[in-house]
Amino acid sequence: MGRKLFFLSVFAIPFVGLAQLRSSDTTAISEIVVSENRLQIPFSKTSRNIQVITKQEIQQLSVRSINEALAFIGGVDIRQRGPFGTQTDVGIDGGSFEQTLILLNGVKISDAQTAHHSMNIPVPLDAVERIEVLRGPAARIYGVNALTGAINIITTTQESNSFSVHTQVGSALEGKEAGDGSGMYGGGSLQLVAHVGHTSFQNLLTVSQDLSNGQRYNTASSNRRAFYQANLDLDERNSVTWMGGGIHNTFGANGYYAAPYDVESQEIVNTSIASVGSSHQFGERFVLKPRVSYRYNEDDFRLYRDDLSKGRSEHSTNAFSAELNSTLYSSIGDFGFGLETRSEKIESTNMGDHHRDNHGAYVEYSTDALRNVLLNVGAYVNYNTDYGWQAFPGIDIAYLFHPSWKLALNIGSSQRIPSFTDLYLDQGTNVGNRDLKSENAWQYEASLQYHVGNLRVQTGYFYRNIAEYIDWIREDAADPYQPQNFGENRVQGFHMSVGQHFKINEQSVFSYEGSYHYLAPKDLTYADGVTSKYILESLKHQAILRLAYQQGVWHISSGNRFVKRELKNSYFLTDIRVAHRHKGLNLYADVTNVFNQSYIETAAVPLPGRWFSLGIQYTL
């Protein structure tokens, strides 16, 4: 570890020296209108704990997928089973992967079967404009299942025509394991992104393919994606937006779910999404936004890929949603009202056929009319056919006691409804529990923010209490895991972050972004001999440092992460990218996991060691 920290220090010292030079505003993040709620508040006026990573920042990272980009956002816990975007669980501030809501352009795409498939996103990384992470309970903003937060992925839109092709190849430069073919482990990707349109009609079309022969025995993967999005302005007051896409994943699942019995397992997943929405402005003060969306997921898990007569589970899930959002602008603030309904259905050879409906309504009020105060208050009322009525109030308030300083307080509640897997799974090593109750949480957070020019500093503390907390446990190694409600799960956490951009001269730009998160669960203990899935992988310490320097057409960047989980060994990862960008051509070389660390993020899946990649992107 000492050698790694020394390397990081040496790499960072020249950049720290540059930080003493003059700075200028090179980012317009404060002008971004985030989708943290239906009221569409500018980033500079939010009173919530929101992280935003932009397209420009993503391009500086040595990452190949949305999943990998999320690993460089503070407080976001990425637990990959399959690298290169194959299969990933994501949590926020120590929450489980099922407590985080995933959205694409504001449309909920989380999976009702199992949140293991929530990150099946049909959009390649090149088509992502930014990623917004809303930390803390978000029921009144997005409805149920946003218990610890929500991640909203926003795709690119532009009024001009363009076409880009991006290809990448990489390898560990190490020979394959015995019985897993011959040659070296490696893989590659191809992304095609096209923008077609003009001021009133914009179109985004993407196709992509990722191939890998794995990083260990039976972990080869093939991921194909296609996506289309259109924005049409009918006139100055009316517009229509629609999107649709699909992803087909085939991957070896050695150690993914039932180690050590799944060495020969394989999974094939097909996910499709579609949505149509519109916006209508009546007068100068009222906006109405209806939207319908659909998500279909087909999951074929084969415990023995060469023998489909046993250990095979096939699931298909349909989720249909309709929502009506409205905003009323007034001299005293903005009011939001809305209704939504969602129908979820599963047909499964393993879990049987089940159906449930969810109906919700919300009201929200936001104002900056009070002197130096930003206020957002609201409530969401929900009815679920399995769990009945519940209400989730919340309030966010911020005080700007100085032009550069903001003190914020957030209090909110939220819920997580058990997935179909939690309730009905019968897989031998994992068995569901039909008697599960839904999880309910309250969270309290205080934060202090400082922002002047390009310097942004934030620190904060939160306390979260989850009632009827769900964890998968077993009392003996020979028993199957089964989910149980365990009363209260109380967690307190501390976080801090700092970031800055510098324009040294007309040719040189430097930026850094650092964060640290500490999480401390309280009073969650089990009897001796009881093994827990979630405590084992719960995040405890996370430190992230991103560095980037541009000199003319040359760019060099480094992403560094230190992670310590509750009951697992810590690991420190460093990635480096060197790029040459001139006009529409971008050539780069990556080294990920520079120190060749052996590490596991979840389950029994060792992730790749040192990996070398070359890439080329051309935009016309």
| 236 has a pLDDT exceeding 70 | yes
Per-residue pLDDT, averaged over 405-433, amounts to 93
Q: Are 79 and 568 in contact (CB under 8 A)?
A: no
Q: To 5 degrees, how large is the angle CA 211–CA 85–CA 159?
A: 95
pLDDT, tens only, 311-345: 899 999 999 999 999 999 999 999 999 999 999 99
Q: Which residues pair with 572 in a beta bridge?
A: 562
d(CA 495, CA 520): 12
3-state SS assignment for residue 523: coil
Alpha-helical segments (H) within 379-437: 420-424
> Which one has a higher pLDDT value, 171 or 10?
171
608-to-94, 226, 252, 600 alpha-carbon distances in Å: 24, 27, 15, 9
Per-residue pLDDT, averaged over 469-486, amounts to 88
Percent of the chain residues topping a pLDDT of 70? 92
pTM, full prediction = 0.92
What was the pLDDT predicted at 141?
85
Please count the structural domains in the chain: 1
Per-residue pLDDT, averaged over 576-589, amounts to 96
Q: How confident is the model at residue 5 (pLDDT cuts 50, 70, 90)?
A: very low
Say how many C-beta atoms besides its own lie within 10 A of residue 423's C-beta.
19
What was the pLDDT predicted at 7?
42
Per-residue pLDDT, averaged over 133-149, amounts to 89
What was the pLDDT predicted at 42?
66
Q: What are phi and psi of 404, to 5 degrees?
A: -105, -5
What was the pLDDT predicted at 533?
79
| 68 has a pLDDT exceeding 50 | yes
- Beta-carbon-side half-sphere exposure of residue 427 (alpha carbons within 13 Å): 25
Q: Which amino acid is at 52?
A: V
Q: How confident is the model at residue 13 (pLDDT cuts 50, 70, 90)?
A: very low
| 282 has a pLDDT exceeding 70 | yes
110-to-99, 250, 363, 498, 576 alpha-carbon distances in Å: 10, 20, 23, 31, 32
What was the pLDDT predicted at 162?
95
Q: How confident is the model at residue 530 (pLDDT cuts 50, 70, 90)?
A: confident
Q: How confident is the model at residue 153 (pLDDT cuts 50, 70, 90)?
A: very high
| 241 has a pLDDT exceeding 80 | yes
What was the pLDDT predicted at 34?
59
| 18 has a pLDDT exceeding 50 | no
- Token pair for residue 610? 């040192």
pLDDT, tens only, 70-81: 999 999 999 998
Q: Are 532 and 473 in contact (CB under 8 A)?
A: yes
d(CA 322, CA 276): 10
Sign of torsion over alpha carbons 430, 601, 467, 120: negative
Which residue, 250, 245, 253, is CA-closest to 296?
245
Per-residue pLDDT, averaged over 461-475, amounts to 93
What was the pLDDT predicted at 32?
63
Q: How confident is the model at residue 30 (pLDDT cuts 50, 70, 90)?
A: low
What was the pLDDT predicted at 31?
58
pLDDT, tens only, 81-98: 888 778 899 999 999 899
Instruction: List CB contacts of 241: < 8 A, sequence separation 6 or more.
Output: 105, 229, 230, 231, 232, 276, 277, 278, 279
Q: Are 366 and 334 in contact (CB under 8 A)?
A: yes
| 384 has a pLDDT exceeding 50 | yes
| 549 has a pLDDT exceeding 50 | yes
Q: Which residues pair with 612 in a beta bridge?
A: 171, 591
pLDDT, tens only, 487-510: 889 999 999 999 998 888 888 999
Per-residue pLDDT, averaged over 220-235, amounts to 96
Per-residue pLDDT, averaged over 45-61, amounts to 87
**Which CATH number fits the domain that encloses residue 141?**
2.40.170.20
Q: Which amino acid is at 303?
A: L
d(CA 250, CA 218): 11
| 368 has a pLDDT exceeding 80 | yes
- Token pair for residue 56? 């420009």
| 356 has a pLDDT exceeding 90 | yes
Percent of the chain residues topping a pLDDT of 90? 74
The overall longest dimension of the chain from CA atoms, in Å, is 71
Q: Which amino acid is at 119?
A: M
Residue recorded with tokens 């310097």: 455
Question: Buried (b) or exposed (e) across 54-78, using 16+ Cβ within 10 A?
Answer: beebbbbbbbbbbbbbbbbbbbbbb
What was the pLDDT predicted at 35?
56
Per-residue pLDDT, averaged over 125-152, amounts to 91
Q: What are phi and psi of 277, to 5 degrees?
A: -140, 165
Question: Buried (b) or exposed (e) across 168-195, using 16+ Cβ within 10 A?
Answer: bebbbeeebeeebeeeebbbbbebbbbb
- Token pair for residue 196? 């077609």
Mean pLDDT check: name the lowest of 62-76, 401-415, 431-445, 511-525.
511-525
Per-residue pLDDT, averaged over 19-37, amounts to 48
Q: Tell which phi-psi region holds residue 149, choosing left (phi > 0), alpha (psi between -120 and 50) or beta.
A: left
What was the pLDDT predicted at 360?
95
| 44 has a pLDDT exceeding 90 | no
Residue ranges making up the domain that contains 425: 2-619
Alpha-helical segments (H) within 337-473: 420-424
d(CA 403, CA 30): 14
> Which one has a higher pLDDT value, 2 or 428?
428
What was the pLDDT predicted at 364?
92
Average predicted confidence (pLDDT) for the chain: 90
Q: Are 391 and 219 in contact (CB under 8 A)?
A: no
> Which one has a higher pLDDT value, 7 or 202?
202
